[in-house]
Structure 1
Amino acid sequence: MSTMWGLTVRGICEYENKILLLKIRSKSAHHAGKWEIPGGKVKKCEFFDDALKREYLEETGLDIDIVSLYNVVRNDYTACKTGEEVKSIQLIMKVTCESDEVAVSEEHDDYGWFTQEEVDEMIENEFLTLPAVNAFKK
């Protein structure tokens, strides 16, 4: 069986020196209750920048501008629906927004704007998903 490769794109959004994180819903099959960087999978034939803007709008209600590439991490997982092993490349982008008023989707229970120090503490206390932890490592 051949290995599936996936592409995920996430955006680290800073607004007034605080970083937006979303709390994964408690009923989720993966990382329930952990905090993550907004974003998601790139669909077939979709440009990754369009995917990030779409995912951000779906998950947060925010319109974003993409500024730069921040990091690239790999996150392997087993697909829930098919049971296939997926090797996922995650592009972590720096993004900006015009507002801090977030409307979370059903995928998440909560959101928060955190200082870099607070994010570092959350990483230490294992409140973030492993891909998010790796994304913040430079």
Structure 2
Amino acid sequence: MSTKWGLTIRGICEFNDKILLLKIRSHSSHDAEKWEIPGGKVKKSEFFDDALKREYAEETGLEIDIKELHAVVRKDYTTCKTKEEIKSIQLVMNVTCDSDVVKISREHDDYGWFSLEEIDKMIADELLTQPAIEAFKN
């Protein structure tokens, strides 16, 4: 069986010199209790900017504006349901929002606004997902 390729879009949102991260739910099969950059999979025939705005609204309740490309990260994983091997290209964009009031979805247990120094410590303590680590190293 051939390997499939997927596209994921994420957005680094800075508000009042802090960056928004979401904590993956504790019972997740991937990266449980780690912190990640908001975003998700791009659906078939969906423009990736539309996907990022949709995912942000679903996961955080925030409306965002996309500014520029921040990083491109690759993450390979195995799907939970079908056990397919997926090679995922993750586009990480810089985004802005007009509020820091977040309403998280059921996909996450918590959220926080963190300084770059706090994020560096989270990386050292292995509390971030691999794509987030790669994005913040750029």
In the comparison of the two structures, how many residue pairs are matched?
A: 138
1:137 counterpart residue number:
137
> What's the secondary structure of 2:77's corresponding residue?
strand
In 2, distance between residues paired with 1:115 and 1:137?
Answer: 14
Q: TM-score, normalised by structure 2?
A: 0.99
1:127, distance to aligned residue in structure 2 (A): 0.5
Q: What are the Cα deviations for residues 117-138 of structure 1, in whole angstroms up to 9, with x where unaligned?
A: 0001100000101111111111
Partner of 1:65: 65
1:26 alignment partner AA: S
State the 1:96 CA deviation. Answer: 0.2
User: Which aligned pairs between 1:79-118 and structure 2 lie closer than 5 A?
Assistant: 79-118=79-118
One-letter code of the match for 2:6? Answer: G
Report the identity percentage.
72
Query: Which residue of 1 is the match for residue 23 of structure 2?
Result: 23
Q: Give CA-to-partner distance per residue, 1:40-79, whole Å, 9 cap, x none.
A: 0000000000000000000000000000000001000001
Give the RMSD, CA atoms, in angstroms: 0.5
Consecutive unaligned residues of structure 2, counting only runs of 5 or more, are: none
Runs of 4+ off more than 4 Å: none
Normalising by structure 1, we get a TM-score of 0.99
Residue 50 of structure 1: SS of its match in structure 2? helix
Q: Which residue of 2 aligns with 1:46?
A: 46
